[in-house]
């Protein structure tokens, strides 16, 4: 039965994206009438979770968000089988926008900021448009997710603005201490990646001790490593990164 309903609602996910061009105005109208009862007006939260976040835990990208809207997330969220492909795409695009910040007019030379990013070796830990290393957060669309003040503080005081999913962990095993970003953890095991990019896996019962380091960051603070002009330029460039090809 569900397959019939999904088909009738136009939710043929193999279709070309061009067949479902989203309309944010339409998406907001549908959201306000059908989704806000749980998620609140503007996605600020209610019976359902707030959606005003740069990345949603159960729908981290727009395609997965479309699927969640169409098919639901059992048992809490029902599927929207009555919506067409275009309507689903429109709601998803509207919701994505709730977690984005508007472009700002910031001091600094964004083009020189790109050169600062490269000169300071930031690509050794961060990806931008597929270039660099994924030891730290992908910055390809960071300007759509964080405002200028947050970007500046993250550069000068990174431990005060830790990114989600980048918790540092320290493990002492066989007399050796290993620090790294947690990749996975359950009651019995712990996996992390150290500063050199090496992967480590531990059984908690076999290590001497382990601890989370929620107030520390693997990223060094650049407060003393950048001039005021360089900092302005770097912030301006990062703020310009909104997911388009750089």
> Do 84 and 193 lie in a common domain?
no
Residue 245 lies in a domain: no
> Do 178 and 154 lie in a common domain?
no
Strands (E), 157-218: 168-173, 176-185, 189-194, 199-203, 209-213
Residue with tokens 């493990």: 171
Mean pLDDT of the chain: 87
**Residue 245 pLDDT exceeds 50:** no
CATH code for the domain in which residue 126 is found: 1.10.760.10
**Model confidence pLDDT, tens digit, residues 31-89:** 999 999 999 989 988 888 889 888 888 898 899 999 999 999 998 899 999 999 999 99
According to the model, what pLDDT value does residue 19 have? 56
CA dihedral 51, 55, 56, 59 (to 10 degrees): 130
Domain boundary among 72, 98, 124: 98
> Do 128 and 54 lie in a common domain?
no
Number of structural domains the chain divides into: 3
Query: Residue 214 has which token pair?
Result: 């929620």
**Residue 201 pLDDT exceeds 50:** yes
> Do 12 and 117 lie in a common domain?
no
**How confident is the model over 102-120, as a mean pLDDT?**
94
Confidence band, pLDDT 50/70/90 cuts, at residue 102: confident
DSSP 8-state symbol, 55: S
* Cα distance between residue 137 and residue 157, in whole Å: 16
Name the residue range of residue 57's domain: 2-98
According to the model, what pLDDT value does residue 246 have? 44
Confidence band, pLDDT 50/70/90 cuts, at residue 20: low
223's torsion region: left (phi>0), alpha (psi -120 to 50) or beta? alpha
Residue 184 lies in a domain: yes
> Do 88 and 10 lie in a common domain?
yes
**Model confidence pLDDT, tens digit, residues 123-163:** 999 999 999 998 888 999 899 888 999 999 999 999 887 87
> Do 83 and 133 lie in a common domain?
no
> Do 191 and 233 lie in a common domain?
no
> Do 21 and 47 lie in a common domain?
yes
In percent, the amount of the chain with pLDDT more than 70 equals 90
Sequence-distant (≥ 6) Cβ neighbours of residue 201 within 8 angstroms: 189, 190, 191
* Cα distance between residue 174 and residue 184, in whole Å: 21
């Amino acid at each position: 039965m569900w397959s019939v309903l999904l088909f009738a609602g136009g939710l043929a996910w193999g279709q070309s994206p061009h067949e479902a061009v989203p309309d944010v105005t339409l998406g907001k109208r549908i959201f306000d009438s059908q989704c806000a009862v749980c998620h609140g007006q503007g996605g600020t939260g209610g019976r359902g979770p707030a959606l005003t976040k740069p990345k949603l835990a159960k729908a981290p990208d727009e395609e997965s968000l479309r699927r969640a809207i169409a098919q639901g997330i059992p048992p809490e969220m029902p599927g929207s089988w009555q919506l067409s492909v275009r309507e689903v795409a429109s709601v998803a695009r509207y919701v994505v926008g709730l977690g984005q910040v508007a472009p700002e007019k910031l001091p600094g030379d964004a083009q020189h900021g790109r050169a600062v990013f490269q000169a300071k070796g930031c690509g050794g830990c961060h990806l931008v448009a597929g270039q660099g290393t994924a030891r730290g957060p992908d910055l390809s669309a960071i300007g759509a997710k964080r405002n200028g003040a947050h970007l500046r503080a993250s550069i000068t005081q990174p431990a005060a603005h830790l990114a989600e999913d980048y918790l540092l962990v320290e493990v002492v095993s066989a007399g050796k201490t290993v620090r790294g970003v947690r990749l996975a953890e359950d009651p019995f095991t712990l996996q992390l990646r150290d500063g050199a990019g090496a992967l480590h896996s531990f059984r908690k019962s076999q290590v001497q001790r382990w601890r989370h380091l929620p107030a520390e960051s693997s990223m060094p603070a650049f407060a003393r490593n950048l001039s005021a002009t360089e900092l302005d330029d770097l912030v301006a460039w990062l703020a310009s990164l909104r997911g388009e090809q750089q």
